[in-house]
Structure 1
């Protein structure tokens, strides 16, 4: 059954990706249910599959002090029984009907994902609504999942990349929720009670807080009816998700975390751009040239190709709800860390000076626009894109406009953004390992 399901999903994805090629081909409908719940819908009848993605603003950054990991534990237990169905009965029902239902948490949002054959849509949506409105949080299930999260955390705390990430983000955002580990600590995970879980859900999941994207074999009228039926038992409204705006604290230094490993993990960051910044598209092109373009980027060319210093090197833009970071990383032998860091800083200086070639610019724009349809790898990814576009307020026609926005970026735009944003003096670096050659 699941193999048949995946085959049908593949057919639908292929159709949608091919349809996305010509401008204006993505038909997104704004559906508002009789009860006022909004969703964006891409209707496609080629295969009998429906994918739904949803989000509510406010995730791990809302965890109370001393209860870090709460959002993560909630997301991991929402599908562990609901209503009159205990964990085993709930999971059996999903499995019997080939329904995929999962939840996740990041710093700024809680997310849900549902995929079902259209003939099972009523039951699939019912189980989704039940999980959000009446989660059981039975002691046995909560303790089993808590033990799994503690085991995963213990394993992660031995991983150099994970250690580096916690160290870097803790330095960037001291005293702010973004600086805390989203998956908590052993002590904070153990401190979370079932009452904490039950109190968390209605504070975040409410009818007016839902951001929904749906793709597949369903029409607008049927979807509107299902939305009201699915989410009727949720609270009408939830508290607004608000945090203090914060600029990342970047001291421009290199910080070492000793760890017994034959190679070092390097992470680096400086202040970045919010998604709403008018220079976002120029920054996207610039980042591709700097370190986002894998084999064609400046960092790859200087660090990996010319000098063979690192196994990998990259950069990326990381906008958050209330801040923004321009970050990157590399992995290298301990003996090569000193030179790698020197070259990374040198590339940052060179690109910040605005020295971008015409061929680099053309290649970057060609790749970014050409790869855009391929980002929609399955129906869930398309639905997730609909959600992301809504969260960022980009407009319902964004998918069709996006490549034109990238195409309009000029060499002057890229040079201006490089001078405006890239700041080598603020590039803060964390190294985890036993590095040599650092000054």
Structure 2
């Protein structure tokens, strides 16, 4: 079930966001809308795979995968049946810096949906049989990825970029240690991470503030007040200028590349968003697409994007090409990065990028679930609802000099950390 209709028509998006603080101390952002009889909730808890013990990577991913595998009076099959019978969407996931969850339900089933969410959060069984079953699924994925070029390139890149750091460890674990992940490990991590501190919640749909407040206290109120997060040190992406080559007997080479980025608090952040769009974020109009695919036909897809972990902002990108053209493709990518850093954009590129970024922003708010997701991300980044109204103005305000300055800051000397999987020639 997906809310395809717009959740609310917003001349000002920010003015529709209500801040809720429940009697039990749970905070949330709410956008009330009765255009469709749906309620969408997104939440995020600070502390994801980066909180895994060094010798137990994959623990947060395994924990997230088990929350809906039996809880309260339901075994795994019964819990899934209860969710499916009410057409409820309920799921959980873990990334580097957070454990998150989503809930979507028909308004008439809100009571039951919140009750199921509560069971998953505070009374998940984490039964030995379910742990073994979900762990075996992760093992199957890891075995598949062990010979999958994109996964291999991501692994080589990650290990070179973040040596001796939690970000360098595999979020889904590794074959050598995943079997050691146990129920006591999961319970210990859950106890450390599941708390009201750093809990961010956004709700969009057919529910009023009072009713939501009651549900939030009933659902999240039993969580501990404080979490117990291990410190994750800030790190700058390492290995810039190096090549990590993994030999695999396949006809094409997968390329992963990156360099340090800028944080969302950087005064030039919006200018770097524009600069990246021009370089590789704008698909058919981007320089990398034009030079690598259109002019030379070397790759079906090539892109760059800004990616910000809590403790490390970065620019990353990827491409794939025939082995015999891998060196040439990499050279073109590096030349374009360096040239952009030195020369900046053209007026036409700058104008088209800003128009696209401004015009496409509305697509992030065309369903209730998308709006809730955006609101949670804003909270995790420490922004106010006013960002929703200010963002396009900040993009529009990026001038030529600002974009040139951001390009120099973002692309520097053009040096890249590169990971390649295949039999690349000319490197």
Does TM-score exceed 0.5, indicating one fold?
yes
Partner residue in 2 for 1:341: 330
Residues 289 and 303, structure 2, Cα contact 8 Å, conserved in 1: yes
Q: Counterparts in 2 of 1:159-174, with a 5 A limit?
A: 159-174=148-163
Tell me, yes or no, if structure 1 residue 130 matches structure 2 residue 124.
no
Q: What is the aligned counterpart of 2:4 among 7, 10, 13?
A: 10
Per the alignment, residue 183 of structure 1 pairs with 172
* 1:372-387 alignment, distance < 5 Å: 372-387=361-376
Residue 106 in structure 1 maps to residue 95 in structure 2: yes
Distance in 2, matches of 1:228 and 1:241, equals 27
Report whether the alignment pairs 1:409 with 2:403. Answer: no
Larger displacement relative to structure 2 (202-211 or 419-428): 419-428
- Asked if the contact 2:90/2:103 (under 8 Å) is kept, the reply is yes
Which of 241-250 and 207-216 deviates more?
241-250
Contact preservation (8 Å) 2:7, 2:204: no
Give the equivalent residue in structure 1 for 2:192.
203
* DSSP 3-state at the match of 2:4: helix
Partner Cα distance (1:394, 1:15) in 2:
22
Hey, what does 2:350 align to over in structure 1? 361
**Match of residue 129 from structure 2:** 140
CA distance in 2, matches of 1:355, 1:37: 46
Q: Does 1:264 align with 2:258?
A: no
For 2:316 and 2:198, locate their aligned partners in 1 and report how far apart those are by CA, in whole Å.
Answer: 30
Tell me by how many angstroms 1:290 deviates.
Answer: 0.6
Counterpart contact for 1:101–1:115, Cα < 8 Å = yes
Once the two structures are superposed, residues 21-53 of structure 1 have per-residue CA deviations (whole angstroms, 9 ceiling, x without a partner) of x34576111111111211001110122110100
Offset, 1:240: 4.1
Equivalents in 2 of 1:300, 1:46: separation in Å? 40
> Residue 422 of structure 2 is aligned with which of 422, 425, 433?
433
Task: Give the one of 210, 217, 229 matched to 2:218.
Answer: 229
Paired residue for 2:108? 119
- State how far apart, in whole Å, the 2-side matches of 1:348 and 1:275 are: 21
Instruction: Tell me how far apart the structure 2 counterparts of residues 58 and 242 of structure 1 sit (CA, whole Å).
Output: 10
Please list every run of 5 or more consecutive structure 1 residues that lacks an aligned counterpart in the other structure: none
User: SS at the partner of 2:256?
Assistant: strand
Match of 2:280 among 291, 305, 315: 291
Shift of 1:339: 0.7
CA–CA distance in 1 between the matches of 2:365 and 2:141?
A: 30
* More off after superposition, 75-84 vs 374-383: 374-383
Q: Which runs of 5+ in 2 are unaligned?
A: none
Instruction: Select which of 20, 41, 60 maps to 1:52.
Output: 41
Instruction: Please report the RMSD computed on the Cα atoms of aligned residues, expressed in angstroms.
Output: 1.4
Which stretch shows the higher mean deviation, 299-308 or 164-173? 299-308
Q: Does 1:370 align with 2:390?
A: no
Decide which of 243, 246, 271 is 1:282's aligned counterpart. Answer: 271
Q: Is the contact between residue 250 and residue 269 of structure 1 (CA under 8 Å) also seen in structure 2?
A: no
Deviation of the 1:274 alpha carbon: 1.4
Runs of 4+ in 1 over 6 A off after TM superposition: none
**1:354 Cα deviation (Å)?**
3.0
Structure 1 residues 223 and 15, CA, compared in 2 at 3 Å: closer, same or farther?
Answer: closer
Show the counterpart of 1:243: 232
Contact 2:288–2:336 (CA<8 Å) still a contact in 1?
A: yes
